[in-house]
Amino acid sequence: MSEKQIEKLARKEALQLGSYNAGMSDDAVRETWQVDSISRLASNENPLGASPKVAAALRSALNHSSIYPDSASLKLRQALAELTSTEAGRIVIGNGSEELLKLLCLAFINPGERVVTLEPSFGLHQIYPQMMGAQVTLVPVDPQMEFDLPAWQQALSQPAKMVILSNPSNPVGCMLGREDFNRLIEQVPQDCILVIDEAYYEYCHHLSDYPDSLSVLKTLPGPWIVLRTFSKAWGLAGLRVGYGIASDDALAEVINRVRTPFNINRSAQAAALAALQDPDHVTASVALVTEQREQMRQQLMSLGYQVAPSVANFLFFRTGGDSRDLANKLLARGIIVKPWREAGYTDWVRVSVGSPEDNQIFINALRDIYATQCG
Ligand SMILES: *Cc1c(COP(=O)(O)O)cnc(C)c1O
């Protein structure tokens, strides 16, 4: 079959869809750049890995590999309901929270409907709505790389089917504080689905200005969902578990109707349940990352880079040139970062806060690259 025939058969939304910038695997980097050791600073993973309890749970789940997992992920939903003080009927589980973004779009977005999200943004906040034929409105951050409330208020003055807002934002890391959060959600049109993506919740929920979204959103008349994930602070990115807390059972049920019945495999369910038994692991991870992040911020600033504010486990900094050039120089040293490719931000790089060793390797490499340029 020719490319032309495929083009004729496929939906135009599928043909025109941008691809998600998932970054290179360690193996691909080793092969392409002929390096032995790799510093993974591109995917915001937990440098401490998962809790040791997870490995034990996985070993025991292996004995049941021939048996289908619980399609309802009931135990996990009950545990998450307890964790978030909600009811299990309002909890939905996804193959990563990214699957929940896709399911939300699949369940709600008709071609031509408007979706409002942030710019620069997590790629899938644009890609999944576009897959359904949505018109995506992007709301940029302000020059200080903070949420631009007036711009949001203006964007929300028009009808919209869905608002997708990550707080803190990815890739910037900035946080929408309590007061601004309250003002923003008041503007969300009534028949609009409000999606708050809190993938980095664990890194900032203790900050006094971080909005307690679940208690504030309760007062909203319209539908909403808060998305969180086991991929970041819980250290389970490889197993793919995310969850949503929906405004009501009916919203959770629609999402369940469009998902594949066994979207969370047996090992992933067991691992997430085990991870929840070890909240101290998250606390320790967050403490390490916070301390390392502030050290890296200082080091980047002393090298002359503009660094965006961040309360998450990554930093977004401006390279002053095409970010791919710097990213390639780092790749040649085995360091993987994420050069941003979105128009207007192609001179920015997102770097994850990794282990103290990897962070030091990264900073040393930058100093070295800088010295080579000047010498
Ligand atoms: C990492 C991330 C996710 C996706 O995480 P999953 O691994 O799919 O659970 C979702 N949203 C944002 C903003 C992220 O940074």
Which pair of structure tokens corresponds to residue 361? 């390797």
Q: For residue range 190-206, what is the model confidence (pLDDT) as tens digits?
A: 899 999 999 999 999 99
Rounded average pLDDT over 9-32: 87
Strand, coil or helix: 329:
helix
Check if the beta carbon of residue 141 is closer than 8 Å to that of residue 120: yes
Q: Report the pLDDT averaged over residues 16-41.
A: 88
Q: Which residues pair with 228 in a beta bridge?
A: 243
Say if residues 92 and 100 touch (Cβ distance below 8 Å).
Answer: yes
Q: What is the pLDDT of residue 375?
A: 57
Q: What are phi and psi of 13, to 5 degrees?
A: -65, -35
Residue 287 has what pLDDT?
Answer: 98
Quote the pLDDT of residue 3: 86
Q: Is the pLDDT of residue 374 over 80?
A: no
Share of the chain above pLDDT 90, in %: 91
Ligand 1 first shell, C-beta below 6 A: 44, 96-98, 122, 166, 170, 197, 199, 229, 231, 237, 242
The 10s digit of each residue's pLDDT in 117-145 is 999 999 999 999 999 999 999 999 999 99
Mutate to test the pocket of ligand 1, among 46, 196, 229, 313 (most ligand atoms within 8 A of CB): 229
Residue 237 alpha carbon, nearest atom of ligand 1: 7
CA of 229 to the centre of ligand 1 (A): 7
Residue of the CA atom closest to atom 14 of ligand 1: 199
- pLDDT at residue 25, rounded to an integer: 86
Give the start-end residues of each E strand in the chain.
39-40, 91-94, 114-119, 135-140, 162-166, 193-197, 224-229, 242-246, 306-307, 314-318, 335-336, 338-339, 348-352
Q: pLDDT per residue over 232-262, tens digit each?
A: 999 999 999 999 999 999 999 999 999 999 9
Predicted TM-score of the model (pTM): 0.96
The closest residue, in CA terms, to atom 6 on ligand 1 is 96
Phi–psi pair at 339, nearest 5 degrees: -75, 125
Distance CA 366, CA 75 (A): 46
**In angstroms, rounded to a whole number, what is the distance separating the alpha carbons of residues 101 and 255?**
10
Question: What is the reported pLDDT for 304?
Answer: 94
DSSP 245: E
What residues have CB less than 8 Å from 125, skipping those under 6 apart? 101, 117, 118, 164, 166, 197
Supply the mean pLDDT for the chain: 96
Phi, psi values for residue 34, rounded to 5°: 55, 50
Residue whose Cα lies nearest atom 8 of ligand 1: it is 96
Nearest to 196 by CA among 207, 181, 206, 174: 181
pLDDT band with cut points at 50, 70 and 90 for residue 277? very high
Ligand 1 atom at shortest distance from the alpha carbon of 95:
8
pLDDT over 70 (residue 24)? yes
